Amino acid sequence: MPSRLQAQVEEALRDAGIPFTTEAIDADSGYSIDILAYQNQDEDSAMPSPLPARFGASHRAAAIAIEVDGPGHFARPALRAPLGSTALKQRHLRQLGWHAVSIAFWEWNALRREPHGVRDFILATFPRTALHPGGSGDAEGRGSPGGNVRA
């Protein structure tokens, strides 16, 4: 069962029309990735449908590994100091070739307070979504949340 924070991030991706799977397993490391979202780039990097539970090197160019980090991922949340295991996992995912993004709870909460915070995050993280002007989505982003992420 995902946390409320992770469920909010999933809802934002779903509203933006971005395909994703949750709790995906990296086949090489065994790491569980909170959310693995597809970057709609081109047909050569297309993700399989339905999305598999285990992903390997062939999928890394077409996906963003999103880690949703609640207060339990920080030794001192007030100081925003991540636990060693949290920082190590991010580093390993990047070394394995994933485009890894971490969303800390305070960042997500700040995004949700801004009128277009979540939408802007989605646009920055997924530049080829239908939310962009000229795409198939609403250029004003109405009904489509977006947000901010640390990459």
Give the tens place of pLDDT for each residue, 33-79: 999 988 754 444 445 444 555 666 666 777 889 999 999 999 886 78
Q: Is 109 helix (H, G, I), strand (E, B) or coil?
A: helix
Q: Which residues are CB-neighbours of 17 under 8 A, at least 6 positions away?
A: 129, 130, 137, 144
Q: What is the pTM of this model?
A: 0.74
Tokens for 64? 């963003």
Beta pairing class for 54-55 and 20-26: parallel
**5, amino acid identity:** L
Closest C-alpha among 126, 151, 102 to residue 12 = 126
